[in-house]
Amino acid sequence: MIVLGIESSCDETAAALVTDQREVLADLVLSQLKDHAPFGGVVPEIAARRHIDHLDSLIARALKEAGIGFGQLDAVAATAGPGLIGAVMVGLMTGKAIASVCRVPLIAVNHLEGHALSARLIASIEFPFLLLLVSGGHCQLLIVDGVGAYRRLGTTIDDAAGEALDKAAKLIGLGYPGGPAIERTAKTGDPRRFALPRPLHGRPGCDFSFAGLKTAVLHLVESLPNPLSPQDQADVAAAFQATVADVLIDRTTNAIRTFKTAAAQGSTLVVAGGVAANTLLRERLKALAEANGLTLLAPPLRLCTDNAAMIAWAGVERLRLGLTDGLDASPRARWPLDPLAEPAPGTGRVGRLGRKA
């Protein structure tokens, strides 16, 4: 079984070919960093236009690299959300066109499910498992009972960890993307020089909050001589990285307790998403898992950031169960993995500056 995966939910244009035997025949990602770096973040209109410019040729390159033709495809899996709606539409419409012409099934994949199942592309882990999904747009803890079966234990009440890393890097003067810049700069920094707040740390539950931490970094940077010296940058970056890791570990510790009660047979902690590429976080999560009798599984770095191999694999998983979609599948800007989960405390309320997301 060979599935073509297409990913275009944000600023990476990606195409991949994956088999049901966990073989990655081709895995191509075209980054748009240079297009968005001058703006300090992703510009949705630019992202969508770059997908239009490059997706067709990228798919052609993937097929050539794999040594197969369209006629050998068993299905097409394309990200249908959540993400930037214009960007999502480009990939999904391309997937629909290929599925229609080749007369093969279309699988409209939830981008978050692509991350959630990416660990099963590299290892034969059993359901259920506990998932920490941490990226630029999402920060959640979920019990994964199976394909399409998710129980959310906690989510962010304001910003995601990856978004906070990007904003902090911009405040420190490290540029975009923030996550790699923070990690790189923090290597020569002292994380103990500056004390930063750890939102919700030590409290019950599994929800996250990072907005106040960003504000604390802003005040810290404003209190230092500007422009920041290289050592100041390194120390602030180290303090911020350590603080984010502390918060993620604290909330995941609570989730492990719930997981052991709700899914006693589960034995694996999976971390996925772009922030999962952070070395410090991986080391801390490994120690946490071992201390609680769990095995940590972290996908290789290339599967942490947005890619089409994980989308193709999610397509394989769904195709095995007969979970295919019609050509009327709709793109979605928002698409929760657990639609029955209650909103996080505080979200949706009207504050001084308007309603929260």
Structure tokens at 351: 């504050």
Instruction: Write down the mean pLDDT value for the chain.
Output: 94
Predicted local confidence at residue 351, as pLDDT: 60
Q: What average pLDDT score do residues 247-272 get?
A: 94
Q: What is the pLDDT of residues 238-254, one digit of tens each?
A: 999 999 999 999 999 99
**285 vs 254: CA distance, rounded Å:** 13
The answer to whether residue 8 scores a pLDDT higher than 80 is: yes
Give the C-alpha distances (Å, rounded to integers) separating 138 from 12, 111, 149, 161, 323: 16, 11, 18, 8, 25
Domains, the chain, in order of start with CATH, read 2-118+303-320 (3.30.420.40), 127-298 (3.30.420.40)
pLDDT in tens, 305-339: 999 999 999 999 999 999 999 999 999 999 999 99
Q: What is the pLDDT of residue 354?
A: 63
Residue 126 pLDDT more than 60? yes
**How many Å apart are CA 15 and CA 57, to the nearest integer?**
10
Cα–Cα distance for residue pair 304/284, rounded to 1 Å: 17
By the 10 Å C-beta count (0-12 exposed, 13-18 middle, 19+ buried), 5 is classed as buried
Give the separation between CA 114 and CA 313, rounded to whole angstroms. 7
Q: Alpha helices, DSSP H only, in the chain?
A: 33-36, 44-66, 85-102, 111-117, 119-122, 161-172, 178-186, 211-223, 230-262, 279-291, 301-304, 309-320
pLDDT bin (cut points 50, 70, 90) of residue 39 is confident
- 31: Cβ–Cβ under 8 A, 6 or more apart, which residues? 11, 12
Lowest-confidence segment of 34-38, 103-107, 243-247 by average pLDDT? 34-38
Residue 122 clears pLDDT 70, i.e. is over it: yes
Cis peptide before 227 (omega within 30 of 0): yes
> Are 110 and 335 spatial neighbours (Cβ–Cβ below 8 Å)?
yes
Whether the predicted pLDDT of 347 surpasses 80: no
Q: Are 331 and 85 in contact (CB under 8 A)?
A: yes
- pLDDT tens by residue, 291-310: 999 999 999 999 999 999 99
Instruction: Specify which residues 134 forms β-bridges with.
Output: 139
pLDDT reported for residue 357: 47
For residue 112, give the nearest of 311, 248, 249, 324 by alpha carbon: 311
pTM score > 0.75 for this model? Answer: yes
Q: Can you tell me the mean pLDDT for 1-12?
A: 96
Q: Give the contacts of 222 (CB within 8 A, at least 6 positions apart).
A: none
**In this predicted structure, what is the pLDDT of residue 352?**
62
C-alpha 58/C-alpha 303 separation (Å) is 18
Q: Produce one character per residue of 12-42: b if its CB has 16 or more CB atoms within 10 Å, e if not.
A: bbbbbbbbeeeebbbbbbbebeeebeeeeeb
**pLDDT average, residue stretch 39-61:** 93
Residue type present at position 313: W
**How much of the chain exceeds pLDDT 70, in percent?**
97
pLDDT exceeds 80 at position 355:
no
CA nearest 149: which of 108, 121, 110?
A: 110
